[in-house]
Amino acid sequence: MSIIRNLKGEKRENPNTANGTWSVLREMIRGQKTNSGVDVSQNRALQLTAVYGCVRILSETVANLPFPVYRHLERGKERDRNHYLYKILQEQANPYMTAFSFRETMMQHLLLWGNAFAEIQRDNGQRIIGLWPMLPNEVTIFTHNDGSVDYGYRTPDGKPKLLSPDRVFHIPGMGFDGITGYSPLKLASEAIGMGIAAEEYGARFYNSGGRPSGVLEHPHVLNDDGARRMREDWERLHDGLSNAHRVAILEQGTKYNQIGVPPNEAQFLESRKFQTEEIARFFRVPPHMLGDLDRATFSNIEQQSIDFVTHSISPWLKRWEQSVKMQLFSSRTKRTHFAEFVLDGLLRGDTESRYNAYAQAHQNGWLSANDIREKENLNPVEGGDVYLIPVNMTPADTIYDQLEQKKKAQEQMQEQTQQQYNDDDEEEQEEEQNNNRSLTRAQTRALYFRENVRDSNKRILKQSIKRIFKDEQESVMKEAKNAFEERDTSDTFMNWLSDYYNEERERIEQELRPVMQSIGSQVYASVQDELGSTTAMPRDVSGFIQQYIQQMAKRISGNSFSALVKRLEQKPDDIVSALETEFEDWQENRVDSIAQEETIRSSGAITVTAYSVLGVALMRWVAEADACPYCREMDGKTVGVEQTFINTGESLEVEGEENFTPNTSVKHPPIHGGCQCQVVAD
């Protein structure tokens, strides 16, 4: 018998008088007898860990996903938070149930009964204002000769009522007629029953002191009372865990003969494990999600999880989405609105893979910075809606015109540099000519690409740094105002400030990672084009990008902490105002400075690392056409890819200028603040 009665072809009847129609089907509550001798009901089935685990995993996964209402746009879609269904599907289904609880309950009904029902509550304007789950075993579907459908329902207080289709939200599972779904418990009753039987067998085995059953054999004939007393005495002394392993004393020639099969011989553990796999197979849940890791490895768990989303969760989500659109949206809003689950969170890979994918998507122009930030649950930034166009996919006639202009400017700069040495001897002049030899087209294109990468990402990086400083200002000023209400709390504030910036380093790293990953991916693409390489980004390069991001976050947080400490060491009369002034100065000056320096520094560092990994032996310094005297002095200098252009303590000597000594060794640009030089493979 089905849990839902299908009265196809019957006349429409009053449920208060149709007693036969209203006989409620309760066989799944009572339990269905199986060949293993176990009654399988939904409550008993849930006591089996494998069933409970599968139902919980599937129902909680569906309930946990965002389920917003979207409005169709001419191109694309947008969330419509003002639609009356948005709150019901996404936040609160009725005054007593959250959207999570509602979807979790409905999924449990689907997984156990094969059907989920909810009564639709409407206001006077017929707008939906609530969804109330209905017990599937109390629902009867009436299908009539004219094709119409009604729903009979017996409320918890025992009163029957008849509901029209516009009053019932019904999600059917897999079924034979498209109206009602099969009961999964009924179909899987034998597998579940066997699992329950194995569980009960194990419990009884241990309750019997870990002994198989047996027979007491007496050499003489015993009357009924004697046999009963012998059995009762034996069970009293030896049954149960508390009596396990007690020494048995057999009198008058009595013998104990074992007749049960020991669990190891009955393959007890193997049977239980097999039934877990059977139930997982039935619900289509990967065994590793139930704790069975025999076939799971570090390399395949992620793929199994993606497969779980694709083949286990997605069909259920599609049932929800189409049922919601068909039954809950009005005929007018069906053309303009729809509800859709957001799967991005479930399909995320590990952090490195995810950010590499974002970088490629941003670089190739089909995800903007704000699209990526939305997927990472971050707020949009100003200017983040721009979609980049890969410069190496620009029409050839356009880009080569730009390259020729760049090349001419470079040649003019080289001529100016050459003129400074007209009075030098011929040997020095020849050496300088070799240093300043013309760039190849591939090198010129690479310089142009990397310059565009820096410029396009600089604006995004500035917005991120602005936001970082704004968040720091709010946190630090709040604590400062509390701390300096009394003048003797400076030590407490300093300790707090130190702890705050230790933690702030990780927040900065998380904030800057997407844009820096994008820079790294695009710079590596320019190196590929320069060298004519098709090698995918090696792990050494991607690993270096991660290290660079960490060091960059350390630099920014460390400099911020030092700047605030320096302010405090000046012992201003109004500490709070002094700190406010410091943060305002950061917004006016530090933001541009950091964005400028880090885009150039990261571009140079990633370029040199890529050269090293891809086997380049030499690299050459290339200065801009309008470069400063020191950068022009560096122009054309060639070193090994593992060497430095300037060693620690070494100075640049330029005629007519003061000697310039960098703070550290210089392996790549920038050589000083504002420097926009680059390197090329030589």
CA gap 526, 536 in Å, rounded? 12
**What DSSP line would sit under 48-110, residue for residue?**
SHHHHHHHHHHHHHHHHS---EEEE-SSSEEE-TTSHHHHHHHTEEETTEEHHHHHHHHHHHH
pLDDT of residue 481: 85
**594-629 tens-digit pLDDT:** 999 999 999 999 999 999 999 999 999 999 878 888
Per-residue model confidence as pLDDT tens digits over 634-671? 899 999 999 999 988 888 888 888 888 888 899 999 98
Token pair listed for 172:
């059917």
The count of residues in the chain is 682
Question: What are the tokens at 28?
Answer: 């799944």
- Quote the tokens at residue 26: 């309760």
More confident of the two residues 113 and 362: 113
Query: Cβ atoms within 10 A of the Cβ of 531, count?
Result: 17
φ, ψ dihedrals at 484, nearest 5°: -100, 20
**Amino acid residing at 305:** S
Element holding 255 (H helix, E strand): strand 255-258
Q: What is the pLDDT of residue 223?
A: 61
Beta bridge partners of 378: none
Report CA torsion sign: 191, 194, 198, 203.
positive
DSSP 666: B
d(CA 607, CA 548): 13
pLDDT beyond 70 at 227: no
Close Cβ partners of 365 (under 8 Å, ≥ 6 residues apart):
387, 388, 389, 390
Taking the C-alpha atoms of residue 498 and residue 562, their distance in angstroms, rounded to an integer, is 10
| Top-confidence residue, 232 or 1 | 232
pLDDT band at 95 (very low <50, low <70, confident <90, very high): very high
Nearest one of 499, 501, 494, 502 to 571, comparing CA atoms: 494
Alpha helices in 392-440 (DSSP H): 396-419, 426-435
How confident is the model over 342-383, as pLDDT tens digits?
887 665 555 666 677 777 777 777 788 888 887 776 777 777
Distance CA 561, CA 565 (A): 6
For position 88, what pLDDT does the model report? 94
Question: Does the pLDDT at position 428 exceed 70?
Answer: no
**pLDDT at site 10:** 38
Residue 251 has a pLDDT of 55
Which H or E run contains 139?
strand 139-143
pLDDT bin (cut points 50, 70, 90) of residue 27 is very low
Residues 6+ apart with CB under 8 A from 641: 608, 611, 612, 616, 617, 618, 619
Burial classification of residue 76, based on how many CB atoms lie within 10 Å of its CB (0-12 exposed, 13-18 middle, 19 or more buried)? exposed
Mean pLDDT, the chain, rounded, equals 76
Torsion on CA atoms 642, 645, 649, 650, rounded to nearest 10: 140
The pLDDT of residue 553 is 92
pLDDT score recorded for residue 673: 84
Q: What is the pLDDT of residue 193?
A: 63
* pLDDT value at residue 212: 47
What is the pLDDT averaged over residues 305-317? 81
Q: What pLDDT, in 10s, does the model give residues 465-493?
A: 998 999 899 989 888 888 776 555 567 78
Query: Which has more pLDDT, 170 or 37?
Result: 170
The burial of 83, by beta-carbon neighbours within 10 Å (0-12 exposed, 13-18 middle, 19 or more buried), is given as buried
Residue 35 confidence (pLDDT):
54
Of 634, 248, 581, which is closest to residue 436 (Cα–Cα)? 634
Does 135 score more than 50 pLDDT?
yes
Among residues 32, 30, 341, the alpha carbon closest in space to that of 184 is found at: 32
CB atoms closer than 10 angstroms to residue 530: 24
Q: What is the pLDDT of residue 537?
A: 86
DSSP codes of every residue in 206-218: HHTTS---EEEE-
pLDDT confidence bin for 549, thresholds 50/70/90? very high
> Do 530 and 443 contact (CB within 8 A), yes or no?
yes
- Mean pLDDT on 519-534: 88
Higher per-residue pLDDT: 244 or 490? 490
**For the segment 251-304, what is each residue's pLDDT rounded down to a tens digit?**
555 665 554 444 444 444 455 565 677 778 878 888 777 766 665 544 455 566
pLDDT tens figures, 316-337: 999 999 999 999 998 888 889 9
CA-CA-CA-CA dihedral for 26, 28, 30, 34, to nearest 10: 140
Q: Residue 14: which pLDDT band, with cuts at 50, 70 and 90? A: very low
- The mean pLDDT of 35-58, rounded to a whole number, is 73
CA distance 337 to 207: 60
Whether 127 has a pLDDT exceeding 60, the answer reads yes
- Placement of tokens 């303590």 in the chain: 649
DSSP annotation of 6 reads B
**pLDDT confidence band for 39 (50 / 70 / 90):** low
Q: Which residue, among 58, 81, 121, has the nearest Cα to 320 in the 3D structure?
A: 58
Higher pLDDT, 92 or 215: 92
**Count of helix runs (H) and strand runs (E) in the chain:** 21, 18
Cα separation, 338 vs 212, in Å, equals: 61
Instruction: Say if residue 525's pLDDT is above 80.
Output: yes
**Residue 431 confidence (pLDDT) above 80:** no
Which pLDDT does position 41 carry in this prediction?
64
The helix (H) or strand (E) run that includes residue 618 is strand 618-622
pLDDT in tens, 560-602: 999 998 988 888 888 888 899 999 999 888 999 999 999 999 9
Taking residue 216's Cβ as centre, other Cβ atoms within 10 Å add up to 16
- Better-scored residue on pLDDT, 238 or 182: 182
The percent of residues in the chain predicted with pLDDT above 70, rounded, is 68
